[in-house]
Amino acid sequence: MSDLLLENLSIPYTDPLLLRLEEGKIVLGPLVGILTFGLYEDPDHLQKRRFLRAFRTLLNPNRPGHPGGLYFLFDFQDVDWEELTVKGYFYRLQGSKAVWETKKVPFPDVIYNKILSRRKEESPEVIRFFNLLYAHTHAQIFNESYFQKWDIYQRLMTFEQLKDLIPETYPYPTVERIEEMLKKYPMVYLKPSDGFLGLGIYQVMRQAKGLLVRYRLHDRNLSRIYPSVAALLKREFPERKREKYLVQQGISLMRLGEDPVDFRVHLNKDKENRWIVTGIGAKKAGKGSVTTHIRAGGKALAARQVLDQLFLDQGEEFYRKLGRISIAVGEALERSFQKPIGELGLDLGIDRNGKIWLFEANSKPGRSIFEKIDELKAVSLKPIHLLTEYMTYLARFC
């Protein structure tokens, strides 16, 4: 295309684009915007932000396997709703140097929501952005918002084939509810309904002289004995805090030595809108920790090796079963939400009887398992390739 035509179309670069015919017109694209916040044009700021470093591969137009199209970051505040244009932040290579450039471009065909703050996502200005987006554009947005644990529990419990995967869970833990749960199970967990990274989780276990309560505070693993549930709630859970918590059946997980182990399954959609397992990692709890999260002292391990160690010649079957169950969960969630979901992170565990449980579904999963586990480093680009495939599918260029 000529430079004049590109200028008239507000296309700032000569990167390869895909085309399709639609009602007698040629449509070029896709334009893919990664939605975020807090962007500034200062080059040093853009180079230093860890979040942006994580997306350089996705945004790099020269990466192997790039399907074509323009990929850019944009801030929800940098939209001209009258012109339907945005200020896009493009990652470009100039010789051996990488730079960020800002260009005015048409409103994207597809939006990948990476506002990595629940509070910001629920703010009035972001809600206004989404209202305007739905009112004035036909853009496809996927992974529209963070998940809430109780909402996900309720949705999945409507699928008969998945009910058996999910630990018994209730919102707003009361004295009566926790006591009832502790009569049924030797251990329960108190979890924030919108928590992440394992923060704010309490493990409560019955003992002869009361309750053993274990939790993490200020990077330290702590334990206390409480004489009763009422005493625990009075000390640790004032009314306003309790409103944001769930009580959940505790599961006695398989262990490596003395340490519990669970599994993170990463799912991505492909260009045919099918779920693909892109990685499974194992996580071993740190000494004294109530969770397996890395920041709480946990360690990432190769899932196949862990499963072989735990189940010997049945290890491969458990590996495949984790993948099959995860895909079933992904399909169920998309049917329930009736909105596009392009990637998921699922936390699953296997109890001492070999039963698989689902603990959490994450709509904005990190990719640390691809960095910390050697067997996944070799396929670390697979989620990026599938993301671009799915974006191309949503924009109807497949």
Domains and CATH numbers, the chain: 3-142 (3.40.50), 149-166+252-394 (3.30.470.20), 169-249 (no CATH)
| Neighbour tally for 125: CB within 10 Å | 10
Give the confidence band of 111 by pLDDT, cuts at 50, 70, 90.
very high
Q: Identify the band that residue 43 occupies on the pLDDT scale cut at 50, 70 and 90.
A: low
Query: pTM above 0.85?
Result: yes
Which amino acid appears at position 224 of this protein?
Answer: R
- Asked if pLDDT for residue 9 goes beyond 80, the answer is no
CA 381 to chain CA mean position, Å: 17
Write the pLDDT tens digit of every residue in 48-99. Answer: 566 666 678 888 888 888 888 999 999 999 999 999 999 999 998 887 788 8
Cβ proximity of 194 and 118 under 8 Å: yes
Distances (CA, A) of 347 to 83, 176, 262, 297: 43, 29, 7, 17
CB 3 within 8 A of CB 369: no
Q: What is the mean pLDDT of residues 107-113?
A: 97
State residue 116's pLDDT score: 87
User: How confident is the prediction for the chain on average, in pLDDT?
Assistant: 90
Q: 25-29 and 85-94 as β-strands: parallel, antiparallel, unpaired?
A: unpaired
How much of the chain, in percent, has pLDDT values that exceed 90? Answer: 65
Residue pLDDT, tens place only, 227-265: 999 999 999 888 888 889 999 999 999 999 899 999 999
CA 302, CA 300: separation in Å to the nearest integer?
Answer: 7
Residues pairing with 245 in the sheet: 192
Q: At what angle do helices 303-311 and 315-337 cross, to 10 degrees?
A: 120
